[in-house]
């Protein structure tokens, strides 16, 4: 039994180098850059710009109304509630429109990414913007950036 306890950690250590030698490759793609340069993306991009500007203006109005409502009149509180409901309704409408406009673009991008990844031997491809924003990637060699290859594929 003691011999097993001594040999077990050694056996585990012997498997570590094998696990590190896997041939899996990880790549990154700047999906927003791909979409900006795709044909047929104008509607989606314009809708994103319009919705961002509109919602930002509505948020500023909500902040102003919240300041007034904090002072306490019933009319100000009612106006704030109505503005919050309107904001949620408009936001939800934009979300649906954006999803509809993005769906065909997403299909093209996903197909292109899958083809480029398979052709170049990548097991995993991450959206560079999402990975950077979530601190998933601390460092990436520029050689793993597949954005240009995906751009060529979608055109």
pLDDT tens digits, 44-99: 999 999 999 999 999 999 999 998 888 878 888 899 999 999 999 999 999 999 99
Does 1 map to a domain? no
Does 16 map to a domain? no
Q: Which two tokens stand for residue 94?
A: 């934009």
Question: First-to-last CA distance in the chain?
Answer: 64
Write b or e for each residue in 87-116: b if 16 or more Cβ atoms lie within 10 A of its Cβ, otherwise e.
Answer: beeeeeebeebeeebbeebeebbeebbeeb
Among 1-10, 107-116, 125-134, 138-147, the minimum mean pLDDT is found in 1-10
CA-to-CA separations, 129 to 78, 84, 126, 132, 153, in angstroms, rounded: 40, 30, 9, 5, 20
Does 112 map to a domain? yes
Mean pLDDT of 2-12: 45
Q: Which domain holds residue 136?
A: 25-154
CA-to-CA separations, 138 to 31, 46, 112, 134, in angstroms, rounded: 18, 32, 25, 10
Look up the CATH number of the domain holding residue 59.
3.30.910
Query: pTM for the full model?
Result: 0.71
DSSP 141-152: -GGGB-HHHHHH
Does 37 map to a domain? yes
pLDDT of res. 18: 46
Does 126 map to a domain? yes
Does 36 map to a domain? yes
Lookup result for tokens 């498997």: 15
Does 2 map to a domain? no
Does 72 map to a domain? yes
Domain total in the chain: 1
């Amino acid at each position: 039994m003691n011999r097993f306890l001594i040999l077990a950690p050694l056996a585990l250590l012997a498997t570590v180098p094998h696990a590190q030698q896997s041939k899996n490759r990880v790549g990154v793609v700047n999906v927003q850059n791909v979409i900006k340069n795709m044909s047929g993306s104008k509607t989606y991009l314009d809708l994103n710009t319009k919705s961002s500007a509109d919602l930002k203006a509505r948020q500023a109005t909500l902040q102003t109304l919240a300041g007034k409502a904090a002072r306490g009149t019933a009319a100000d509180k009612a106006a704030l509630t109505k503005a919050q409901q309107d904001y949620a309704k408009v936001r939800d409408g934009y979300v649906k429109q954006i999803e509809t406009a993005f769906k065909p673009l997403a299909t093209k991008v996903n197909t292109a990414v899958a083809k480029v990844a398979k052709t170049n031997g990548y097991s995993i491809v991450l959206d560079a913007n999402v990975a950077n924003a979530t601190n998933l990637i601390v460092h990436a060699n520029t050689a793993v950036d597949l954005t240009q290859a995906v751009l060529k594929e979608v055109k």
